[in-house]
Amino acid sequence: MGRRRIVTRAYAKLNLNLRVLGRRADGLHELRTIYQSIELADCLTVTVRPGPFELRCSDPAVPVDRRNLAWAAVVRASRAVGRGTPRDLSVFIDKRIPVEAGLGGGSADAAAMLHALTRLWPGELSASVCRRIASRIGSDVPFFLVGGTVLGLGAGDELFPLVDLPTHWAVVLIPTFGVPTASAYGWFDLAPRRVRPVLSREPLAVRAGALSLVGKLVNDLEPAVTAKYPEVRRMKAALRRAGADHPSMSGSGSCVFGLFSRRRDATAAAAVLRRQAWRVVVARTLSREDIISRESGCPRGAG
């Protein structure tokens, strides 16, 4: 068996907006969200070599068994193309995306794994089969097959690509605690809340690249997560003081981000924020085209 190696990036996302419209009969929540890819990325190296399937990860906190979403992707893809139980593959995940931060790291890895397998098994794994596998692994996994600026409806898996946001720089604050996604939705379901109207023009705001309207974008999970972790409020206040107009929590937390249209403003804000206890990452927003070019692999130090 020839030895082949594919190196690919799994880019993180931010939720520029996350409206929770209700709870569905299947237990999932009906969402209206705008996903945005950013250049912070895990790096997956997939090697074809004889022997049992193996997965390793640079972060010891991440499971390296069936619970890993990249592993789940391989199992489902092997079965779908009639290859049976996975074997003859070794996967290494160089973890750069913080875990349980609302940046979708596990889901991004699953999608990147599917992307790698389509290249390793040409003609076997169609785009539609990949999409089906992705949505079974998790509601946000299909987004990571697309990337860029995308409206997500349904459970977040019905995707409508938008005109890409003009390049911005996100300053992302990552606290020491993580928030499991299921917990955040559980707290949301239990929390008394004021119903905020869904603005019908939200996606249009991004379509027009009109980030001035980001002020009207909200994350409905934020109050419930903040009630458990008041530090989220402190992170937002610190970002605001550092010059971010409308900082927001991403996904189910725990990270909080602010967007800057000029790189030097983002870098200056990050320098101020690094004096505090949070991990600070500056990451450029990525367009769909940027995502396609991930074929070029992972230079040392990427992400």
Per rule CB under 6 A, count of chain residues that contact ligand ATP = 21
The residues in 133-152 that bind ligand ATP, with binding defined as CB under 6 A, are 140
Q: Which residue in 4, 23, 52, 63 binds ligand ATP (CB under 6 A)? A: 63
Task: Find the part of the chain contacting ligand ATP (CB under 6 A) among 46-54, 98-106, 169-177, 187-195.
Answer: 98-106
Q: How far is the CB of 38 from ligand ATP (least distance, A)?
A: 12
Point out the catalytic residue in the list 109, 140, 157, 220: 140
Residue nearest to ligand ATP (CB): 106
Dihedral sign computed on CA atoms, order 202, 158, 303, 15:
positive
Q: Which residue in 18, 38, 74, 103 binds ligand ATP (CB under 6 A)? A: 103
- Do residues 158 and 152 make contact, with C-beta atoms less than 8 angstroms apart? yes
Rounded Cα–Cα distance for residues 116 and 93 (Å): 13
Alpha helices in the chain (DSSP H): 69-80, 105-120, 127-137, 141-146, 181-190, 202-207, 222-228, 231-241, 263-273, 288-292
CA Rg, the chain, in Å? 19
Residue 20 in tokens: 């929770």
Q: Cβ closer to ligand ATP: 107 or 219?
A: 107
Q: Which residue in 102, 148, 247, 303 binds ligand ATP (CB under 6 A)? A: 102
Q: Does 216 bind ligand ATP (CB under 6 A)?
A: no
- Do residues 163 and 254 make contact, with C-beta atoms less than 8 angstroms apart? no
Q: Cβ closer to ligand ATP: 78 or 252?
A: 252
**Known catalytic membership, residue 88:** no
Residue 268 burial by CB count (10 A; 0-12/13-18/19+): exposed, middle or buried?
Answer: middle
**Known catalytic membership, residue 140:** yes
Q: Does 36 bind ligand ATP (CB under 6 A)?
A: no
- Do residues 6 and 62 make contact, with C-beta atoms less than 8 angstroms apart? no
Q: Cβ closer to ligand ATP: 242 or 286?
A: 286
- Do residues 164 and 287 make contact, with C-beta atoms less than 8 angstroms apart? yes
Question: Binding residues for ligand ATP, per CB under 6 A?
Answer: 62-63, 67-70, 93, 99-107, 109, 140, 181, 251-252
Q: Which residues are catalytic?
A: 13, 140
